[in-house]
């Protein structure tokens, strides 16, 4: 049995830039901040929610299985199951995709699916040699053995590492995510000026969306325990320009690289939820969907070129739906790095790549920049890893509705060499 599945509603917190210390919200705090008002504006009883799924990469010790913790703090019945998914940058979209497949298969009618990430709360970890030293100290027997181990103490053992820094390095290739962006940028001839121009435009578009109220209803304020109100994404720099960005030094491939802090996604905290429902639930409860989820796909490739994941995930959807790039009205392609986005666009235009890798007869075509990330993206918004997949799908649905457009694709690259894509159709 295959049933139509609808994205009924959704909301997110502001994306708050991490500033070198724990921010005001944990992952669950963020999930609750946007979840409560989202559920309050629904006309159906929240006890009808069959399942809660939350994407989260950096789970903190006090919030094991944050989906369950968030579900209970949101006041859902104890009988409502909840689980957390982790597929790096694709976690928020994976939660939606799992909900989509569960409803499509007739195993649920209403699912709360989203992502939450507080990168400012990323755990501190000890170096491996420090862990080994503490293990030896713990296992020492007698004073003499303990003194012998203590003599091997090094000051560096007491200096923890930020877990996020380890997480941004691929364990198979030993390349940082920024280095993978440098690689595919080089392959497809993306210049520093290209990347900086793209980044500046991302900031311009987000600033315009904020000023013109296009995020209203999607973005809900968050209030800290101290009463501070956060009502907007705080990483946007509307005065960004190619000239100003050109002064920044390369971060990953010094001194000649093209990837800088200015043309990369920002490290941020944020959460987003979506409510997915079956056609039966939509009709029974008089729901007014934003969009129908038509299809989704997950692709994989060499981790050293992980930034091309969107190409690998999107191409199968286009082929099996008999769609061309020109048929897609809007695109949300997560901006991990400007070079990565531009490399994906170039790959779709490369006839050899499209024939040999993607299964097309020739070049897939050109994605119109006016249809891509129309209200900015992760370069200006930030990239709370477990949340971004939910955000781009939700915003795609809202942007399509605002513009009266028919169908769109949300897609993202995933650290480790994967990609996810979701095809939405206006409801």
Reported as a single tens digit per residue, the pLDDT across 146-162 is: 888 888 888 887 777 66
Which range of residues forms the domain containing residue 149?
125-163
Specify whether 308 is located in the same domain as 371: yes
The whole-number pLDDT of residue 132 equals 85
Q: How many structural domains comprise the chain? A: 2
Supply the angle between the helices 66-73 and 27-40 in degrees, to the nearest 10. 40
Specify whether 150 is located in the same domain as 203: no
The whole-number pLDDT of residue 165 equals 66
Does residue 307 sit within a domain?
yes
Whether pLDDT at 297 is above 80: yes
Which residues, 6 or more positions from 172, have their beta carbon under 8 angstroms from its beta carbon?
303, 416, 417
The whole-number pLDDT of residue 306 equals 97
The whole-number pLDDT of residue 134 equals 84
- Residue 55: which of 118, 100, 115 has the closest Cα? 115
Specify whether 401 is located in the same domain as 368: yes
Specify whether 188 is located in the same domain as 142: no
Specify whether 397 is located in the same domain as 329: yes
The whole-number pLDDT of residue 164 equals 64
Does residue 298 sit within a domain?
yes
Picking from 103-107, 151-155, 422-426, which range would have the lowest pLDDT averaged per residue?
151-155
pLDDT tens column, 172-208: 998 999 999 999 999 999 999 999 999 999 999 999 9
Whether pLDDT at 168 is above 90: no
Q: How confident is the model at residue 1 (pLDDT cuts 50, 70, 90)?
A: low
Specify whether 360 is located in the same domain as 299: yes
Q: How confident is the model at residue 142 (pLDDT cuts 50, 70, 90)?
A: confident
Q: Return the H-helix or E-strand segment holding 76.
A: none
Does residue 34 sit within a domain?
no
pLDDT tens column, 232-265: 999 999 999 999 999 999 998 888 899 999 999 9
Specify whether 337 is located in the same domain as 398: yes
The whole-number pLDDT of residue 131 equals 83
Q: Which residue has the higher pLDDT, 151 or 395?
A: 395
Tell me the Ramachandran region of residue 257: left when phi exceeds 0, alpha when psi lies from -120 to 50, beta otherwise. Answer: beta
Over residues 393-408, mean pLDDT: 98
The whole-number pLDDT of residue 265 equals 96
The whole-number pLDDT of residue 129 equals 84
The whole-number pLDDT of residue 130 equals 79
Q: Report how far residue 413's alpha carbon sits from residue 342's, in angstroms, rounded to the nearest whole number.
A: 13
The whole-number pLDDT of residue 61 equals 86
Does residue 155 sit within a domain?
yes
Burial (CB count within 10 angstroms: exposed 0-12, middle 13-18, buried 19+), residue 254: exposed
Picking from 30-44, 119-133, 321-335, which range would have the lowest pLDDT averaged per residue?
119-133
Whether pLDDT at 314 is above 70: yes
Does residue 194 sit within a domain?
yes
Specify whether 188 is located in the same domain as 149: no
Catalytic residue ranges: 89, 383, 413
Average pLDDT, the chain: 94
Share of the chain above pLDDT 70, in %: 97
Please say whether the dihedral angle defined by the alpha carbons of residues 348, 98, 103 and 107, taken in this order, is positive or negative. positive
Whether pLDDT at 123 is above 70: no
Please say whether the dihedral angle defined by the alpha carbons of residues 8, 14, 17 and 19, taken in this order, is positive or negative. negative
Does residue 323 sit within a domain?
yes
Specify whether 148 is located in the same domain as 182: no
Specify whether 343 is located in the same domain as 196: yes
Does residue 220 sit within a domain?
no
Specify whether 155 is located in the same domain as 302: no
The whole-number pLDDT of residue 147 equals 86
Over residues 42-68, mean pLDDT: 95
Q: Which residue has the higher pLDDT, 344 or 155?
A: 344
The angle formed by the CA atoms of residues 119, 302 and 177, to the nearest 5 degrees, is: 30
The whole-number pLDDT of residue 124 equals 66
Q: Give the CATH number for residue 187.
A: 3.40.47.10
Does residue 46 sit within a domain?
no
Specify whether 148 is located in the same domain as 194: no
- Give the C-alpha distances (Å, rounded to integers) separating 305 from 34, 233, 310, 377, 419: 34, 30, 11, 21, 11
């Amino acid at each position: 049995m295959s049933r139509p599945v609808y994205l009924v509603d959704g909301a997110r917190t502001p994306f708050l830039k991490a500033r070198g210390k724990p921010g005001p919200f944990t992952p669950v705090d963020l999930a609750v901040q946007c979840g409560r008002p989202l559920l309050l504006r629904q006309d159906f009883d929240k006890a009808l929610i069959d399942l809660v799924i939350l994407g989260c990469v950096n789970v903190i010790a006090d919030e094991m299985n944050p989906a369950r913790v968030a579900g209970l703090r949101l006041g859902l019945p104890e009988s409502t199951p909840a689980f957390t998914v982790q597929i790096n940058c694709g976690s928020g979209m994976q939660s939606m995709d799992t909900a989509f497949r569960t409803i499509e298969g007739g195993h649920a009618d209403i699912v709360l699916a989203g992502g939450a990430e507080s990168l400012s709360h990323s755990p501190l970890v000890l170096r491996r040699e420090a862990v080994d030293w503490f293990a030896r100290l713990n296992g020492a027997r007698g004073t003499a053995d303990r003194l012998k181990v203590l003599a091997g103490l090094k000051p560096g053992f007491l200096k923890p590492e930020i877990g996020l820094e380890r997480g941004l390095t691929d364990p198979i290739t030993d390349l940082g995510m920024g280095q993978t962006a440098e690689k595919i940028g080089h392959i497809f001839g993306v210049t520093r000026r290209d990347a900086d121009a793209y980044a500046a435009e991302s900031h311009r578009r987000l600033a315009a969306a904020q000023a013109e109220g296009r995020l209203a209803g999607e973005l809900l304020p968050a209030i800290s325990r101290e009463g501070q109100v956060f009502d907007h994404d705080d990483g946007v720099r509307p005065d960004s320009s190619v000239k100003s960005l050109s002064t920044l030094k390369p971060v990953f491939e010094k001194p000649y690289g093209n990837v800088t802090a200015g043309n990369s996604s920002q490290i941020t905290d944020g959460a987003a939820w979506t409510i997915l429902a079956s056609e039966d639930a939509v009709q029974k409860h008089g729901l007014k969907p934003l969009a129908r989820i038509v299809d989704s796909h997950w692709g994989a490739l060499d981790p050293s070129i992980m930034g091309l994941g969107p190409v690998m995930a999107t191409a199968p959807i286009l082929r099996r739906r008999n769609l061309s790039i020109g048929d897609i009205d809007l695109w949300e392609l997560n901006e991990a790095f400007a070079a990565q986005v531009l490399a994906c666009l170039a790959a779709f235009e490369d006839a050899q790549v499209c024939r040999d890798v993607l299964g097309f007869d020739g070049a897939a075509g050109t994605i119109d920049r006016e249809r891509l990330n129309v209200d900015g993206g992760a370069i200006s918004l930030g990239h709370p890893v477990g949340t971004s997949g939910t955000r781009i799908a939700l915003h795609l649905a809202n942007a399509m509705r605002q513009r009266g457009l028919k169908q769109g694709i949300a897609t993202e690259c995933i650290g480790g060499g994967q990609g996810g894509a979701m095809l939405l159709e206006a409801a």
